[in-house]
Chains A and B, each alone.
Chain A
Amino acid sequence: MHSPMEQFEIKRLLDFKIGGLDASFTNSSLWMIIAVILATGVFVMGMRQRALVPGRLQSVAELGYEFIAGMVRDNVGDQGKKYFPFILTLFIFILFANVLGMVPYSFTPTSHIVVTFAMALFVFVGVTLIGLARHGLHFFSLFVPKGVPWVLLLLLVPIEIISYFIRPFSLSIRLFANMLAGHTMLKVFGGFVVMLGLIGGWAPLAFIVVFTGLELLIAFLQAYVFAILTCLYLNDAIHLHH
């Protein structure tokens, strides 16, 4: 019986060192690269014909594009156009990593907190810098809710500051924990199937079938949540209102 945590182990496939930095090619790297190659396949190969009446692959590419374009337009507005390629990349990368993680024997790069935290921190720092560059010191008015008596401000401003700095953690842990919990759950119930055998194994097997569908939904949903929260943070930084 394998540990349900074993699926998350990083296995070094090729050892590399750049300077003193360990840049080994691992199973995580492999699946990141596969995600990038597949996404490139959909978005570049699919768009090769640039047909006015799109084929199947082109429809998928356009669907993804319009989905995120609409999200950025609705949540950030016209000033968000500059950041659209980044948010599209973020969504597609997380989506492909999550969904590919559902393939048996694959690896889910987004099930590691260091990966999700790096992305969340990049978003957080980037959004903060955009806010500071746009509004200078006025950016800090984001922490002061409007139309509130000053006594309450003593309480609310620290809360606003804490909730602002908690953003990279909530953003990264949400994605990481969802991936971790889903895959662990599948593995545990897979273990039950083996243990209960032909007699009782059908019940956990049926559960796994249903749960796999739910996991596919979550794989999409978490990519969506990550992208839309990035849009909302960006909107805060650009427009300075809640």
Chain B
Amino acid sequence: MRTPVYSALAAGLVSFAVSGTAAAKSGGMPQLDVHSFAPQLVWLVIAFVALYLVMSRLAVPAISDTLAKRQAKIQGDLDAAEKANEDTRALVAAYEKRLADAREESRRLQRQQAEADSTVATARFNELAERLNGRIAEAEKRIAGQRDTVMAGLEQMAGEIAQSAYAKLAGQPADGAALGAKVATAVKGTSR
């Protein structure tokens, strides 16, 4: 099995060597055949110049034009996006400023309201206190009046008691005026 493989390989190598020498005998490498140089060079020039003209006149302008257009489009889109982004940012800033202003305003109003409320309450409290004071004063006046009335009655009653007591004790009517003054002084002293 292995021997035919090797022998075939050897045969191949030998035939390669033989054909190589045969090719060498029949003029060597085709690349060294001087007679083939002229047609190859002529057609190389024709093909290369044709391709150069196609490339430089048609392909390169078309491609560079397209690339420039695409670049301009992308740049334009990027600029527009950047601008839109900035607009959005400005809008957001304006919105936030208005929100902050509104918040500030609401706080101010709240404070104002609270102040107003406390003023009203104080005023009402004062009014109430005043009214109460008025009533207290009135009541005190009334009490003082009643007391004066009572005191006046008391003085008269004390005078009469003093006169009758004096008459009983002294057996003669009392000097009404002098006794009355003394009783009044005594009553005033106790009532104080």
Contact = CB atoms under 8 A, between A and B. Distances in A.
Given A32-B43, A43-B55, A113-B31, 13 more contacts: A1-B15, A1-B19, A4-B20, A5-B30, A8-B29, A50-B62, A61-B59, A62-B63, A85-B56, A88-B60, A109-B40, A180-B31, A197-B8
B66 A199 contact: no
A112 B32 CA distance: 9
B30 A8 contact: yes
Contacts of A113: 31-32
A217 B4 CA distance: 35
B56 A195 contact: no
Interface in B52-88: 52, 54-56, 58-60, 62-67, 69-70, 73
Interface in A174-195: 176, 180, 188, 191-192, 195
A10 B58 contact: no
B170 interface: no
12 contacts: A3-B19, A4-B20, A8-B30, A9-B30, A10-B40, A22-B39, A28-B39, A43-B58, A62-B63, A86-B52, A93-B48, A119-B44
B56 A25 contact: no
Interface of B: 1, 4-5, 8-9, 11-12, 15-16, 19-20, 22-23, 29-33, 35-44, 46-48, 50-52, 54-56, 58-60, 62-67, 69-70, 73
Given A36-B47, A93-B48, A199-B5, A62 B39 contact: no
Instruction: Report the interface size class on chain A.
Output: 35 or more
A24 interface: yes
Dominant SS among interface residues on chain A: helix
A195 B4 contact: no
Contacts of A51: 66
A114 B47 contact: no
Contacts of B70: 52
A107 B41 CA distance: 16
A176 B31 contact: yes
A2 interface: yes
Interface string A157-168: 000000000000
Q: Which 3 A-B pairs have the closest CB atoms?
A: A29-B43, A43-B59, A85-B56
Contacts of B31: 8, 111-114, 176, 180
B63 A61 contact: yes
A23 interface: yes
Contacts of A44: 54, 58-59, 62
A23 B38 contact: yes
Contacts of A76: none
